Structure formats: structure tokens, C-alpha cells
Structure 1
Amino acid sequence: MKRHAPATARNSGPLADVLAGELPDRGKVLEIASGSGEHAVFFARRFPRLRWQPSDLDPDALASIDAWAAEAGLGNLEQAIALDAADPDWDVGAVAAILCVNMVHISPASASEGLLRGAGMALSGEAPLILYGPFFEGGFEPARSNIDFDRSLRARNADWGIRHVEWLDGLATKHGLVRKARHEMPANNLVLVYRKN
């Protein structure tokens, strides 16, 4: 029932170091597309004053998340909820932050569009939307590994692919968000942080 994502072990520590400077001290963090659930456990343990709300669209992922959570026994880790980022109504209430790790490139553009729309509705004040993954961006030569990865993604599913930062910035603007930070990460990944204008 528990899934294991090898990349999680590699990126959890560096990502948590960035999150420490971007997340609020308290409140509920909504994690979109939580996948195996390993990140949710790692971050709930690392940030005990935050309530961690994992979510996913895949029933098998939801089962894996809850299995990891049950094993960890953390009081600040909520039961996973079914959530489609592309859905126009998330029904999650106000949240202190939204985190989305490695979803944007392995989902259709409508999922990213829904993510920015949903974040624009759910976030207020300085609450951040934090995206992690590989991205293309103007003014930066793309890494050969990302070019090859993008090609392999599109061969698997024509709706997938590494997205351009400028495209995401445009979506954010439409929904009252603006990019406030960009962090370079290992393995040619980035963390992008959006907040309300």
C-alpha cells in the first residue's frame, strides 16, 4: 500500500531548508499532488507547528499517503483528501500556504491553470504558493538533462512537459499572485514562490 518515490529522499532535505524561509510559523499547509506521502511525513515532522494537509487525485496515492501517515503517527499530519488541481472548486477553506512538488510537468496544462486559480482563491495576505520541479525560463540556458527529460515526458503523454516560468508567471498574474522568489535547487530544479500582489 505504501509507495516509495526515490527522488523524495534526495530532495526532501534541500527543499525543507528553502521552506523554512518561506513558510509561515503556524497554520495549515495544503500540499497538492502529495504522491507517495513521503514528503508530507518529512515536512510535518520538520515543521511541527504547521498542520500538514496532503492531497491527491489518485486513490492509490491517497492510500499510500495515509499508510505513511499512520506509521509516522504525527499529530499535525491530517488525513489525505481527494483533490483535483484542475477542479474549479477546491473547497479547502483558507490555508496558510500551498505546496506543490513535481506535479506541473507530469500533468496537463489545465492542472497548472487550476493550481494558480485555486491558490488565488485560497490564499490571502502573505500566504505563499510554493512550486518545486524542473522549469524552463528565459535568459537561462536549459540543462541538457531537462531537455532530454522534457522530450521523454512528451513522448509518454503529449499533455505533459516542462513548463516555462514566464507562462506560470502569467497565470499567477491573472489570479492576483506575483512571483516573489526563485531558488535554484539540486538536479536542475527550481523553487518558485508566489504571493498575493
Structure 2
Amino acid sequence: MSPAYREVMRWDALFDDLEAQLESAATRGQENEIRERTRVEQSRLTLVQRLTGHLDRPLGVTTRGGRSLTGLLTTVGSAWIAVLVEGRSIIVPLQSLSSVRGLGRGVGQPLTGVGARLGLGSALRALSRDRAQVSIWLIAPAARTTGVIDRVGADFLDLGLAGPGDGRRGTAMRDLLTVPFASIDTLDAATTPE
């Protein structure tokens, strides 16, 4: 082989190597860009989106007040979820969630329209309208109180506490307990609020 031919082959090999390196760098750059875009997209996900991606499936929740519940996720509002546990609908404010078990990789869409406006007050007003007997579990001290929701304000509810044999309304109410939403760990109801 002539020295000139070897020199051409060496240049060809050098150019091939440079081309391979550029191709490899471009591929790595694209992969890095895809990973970065994925991270940015994931950083915008909300807990509500994670939960809506799991509607009508079983999950477990642990609350700040220490309750551990396992049931079917039936409703996701903007500030609360409803979990069906042994025939009872349990409302858990999102601020009370300590952890959630059993969520798959699924993600739902952001809430829009009426769903986006379904705050905790909306769920509680539905229960108040139905005059449903509820049990409210407080975060601290971890305590349960049973009664009928008499009034729902912007950030609190009044729970009518009936004495033994008392009715659900009016003068039969023995006492009224005012509970800030921030103190509610969970709320057990016989029905799911609409």
C-alpha cells in the first residue's frame, strides 16, 4: 500500500470517527432534552391530577390525624377526595392527607368547570342539605364527633350535636360545635356528596 493511500485511509477513518462522535453527541443531546422536558412536565402535575387518574380504583390513604383507610376512590374535588370504605363514603380533605398508597402511573387531566369548583365546602353543603348524620374526625386531638351539619361557611362548619332521643333539627339540638375546615381529618357519611 502506498503512503499516500494510507494517508487518505487515515483521513477517512478520522472523519468517520468525528462523524460518529457528532452523531453520538446529537443523540445524547436529544435524549437529555427529552428527559428534561419530561421532568418539567412532571413538575407541573398536581396531586389532584394524580388522584383523578385513579378514579374508581382501590387505594389506601393515611391521614395527618392517624387514620389509615383502604377503599375505592369515588370522587376527586379540588380540595378533597371521597373514598368508599365498607359502604360508607369517607371524605378526606387533601390538606389532611399524609400519604396515598396504590396509585398506578396514571395521571388525569386538571379539573375544569364544575369539578374545579368542588371545594370542601361544596361537599359539606351537599351533606348539610341532605341532613345526613356524619362523624367528623379531628386532626388534633384525634377525636370523633357525630352529628348533623347545620351550617357550612367559607372555612368552617357548624355541627349540630343531638342528645339521646333528640331529633335532628331545631330546638332539639343539644349543642352546636363549630369546626374550622383546617381541623377536619376525615368525615364519615352514609352517602357520597354530589
Q: Is the pair's TM-score, using the shorter chain for normalization, greater than 0.5?
A: no
Structure having the larger proportion of residues in helix: 1
TM range (shorter): under 0.3
Q: TM-score, normalised by structure 2?
A: 0.27
Structure with the greater alpha carbon radius of gyration: 2
Structure having the larger proportion of residues in strand: 2
Q: TM-score, normalised by structure 1?
A: 0.27
